Amino acid sequence: MKTSAMTYGALVLMLSLPGFSSKVGAAPVADQGVQAPAGKLEESSLPIYTPRNQHKMMPRARVGGSLRGTEGKDPEIVALVPDHVGLTVKQAPSLNWFLSKPTSLPIRFTLVDTRTVKPLHEGTIPTPSQAGVQSLDLKELGLTLEPDVQYRWYISAIRNPDSPSQDIVAGGMIERCEFSTCLVEMEVDLSCDRPSVMRNAVRGFWYDAISCLGDLIKADPRNASLRRDRAALLKQVGLNGVAEWDLLSASPLK
């Protein structure tokens, strides 16, 4: 799909519109292609997210986010982000979002440098084959983030290609911390394990903490404590519907 200023304009307009809603879909199916890491994580306290750069926070940084549980043929999409500018240390981080039910609708990803009007990237991505938490790796799209620049990103399910206002849209904001600043001043943890999730969350690196948790869950889908960790972080930023979905998904797992 070609970049379209009109399409991006429709996305901005939808900041003032209520989101679509639907019933939360079935629990995820374990990824059979990834082997779980050896050993089991010990039970400990849940991760705590502590936002940084309070002065940079702005209202309505998150688009969408409610799961109302109403009936309907269309899915609900939720960006797994706080309602302020979230931080990352990575040049090409992963962005996580939630799909409430399987769909055949085309899915579009849009990335916008807030210093410009025209989207930095806009194009279709593969439609997920199942409901649940999804991950989009910017590296696979050849996209990198400049340090100390705020970006908006959107996931859209296209209901009518001729009418962008009918799109089901969710999104958030992200900013990359300059690498040396993150390492020296903020002590970001570049590894990916449960302790690094705890450290990065409390230091304010939302995207690195939540993306690492997603990778750990994908590698060890039967670990209920990891699901509880993710649900705890989601509840802390007001994403209670997705958090409850994660807890329900974890309940039959041992």
Assessment of whether the complete model's pTM goes beyond 0.75: yes
Within a domain: 229: yes
Q: The domain that contains 173 carries what CATH number?
A: 2.60.40.10
Residue 32 contacts by C-beta under 8 Å, 6 or more apart in sequence?
A: none
Within a domain: 102: yes
The predicted pLDDT at position 58 comes to 58
Q: What is the CA radius of gyration of the chain?
A: 17
Q: Is the pLDDT of residue 251 over 80?
A: no
Within a domain: 132: yes
Tell me the percentage of the chain whose pLDDT exceeds 90: 63
**Domain limits at 175?**
5-20+56-248
Residue 23 pLDDT class (50, 70, 90 cuts): very low
Within a domain: 96: yes
Tell me the percentage of the chain whose pLDDT exceeds 70: 72
Q: What is the pLDDT of residues 87-123, one digit of tens each?
A: 999 999 999 999 999 999 999 999 999 999 899 999 9
33-47, 71-85, 130-144, 151-165 — which is least confidently predicted?
33-47
Dist. CA 175–CA 187, nearest whole Å? 17
pLDDT, average across residues 156-181: 92
Within a domain: 95: yes
Total tally of structural domains belonging to the chain:
1
Within a domain: 41: no
- CA dist list (Å): 91 to 143, 147, 206: 8, 8, 14
Within a domain: 138: yes
Within a domain: 46: no
The predicted pLDDT at position 44 comes to 54
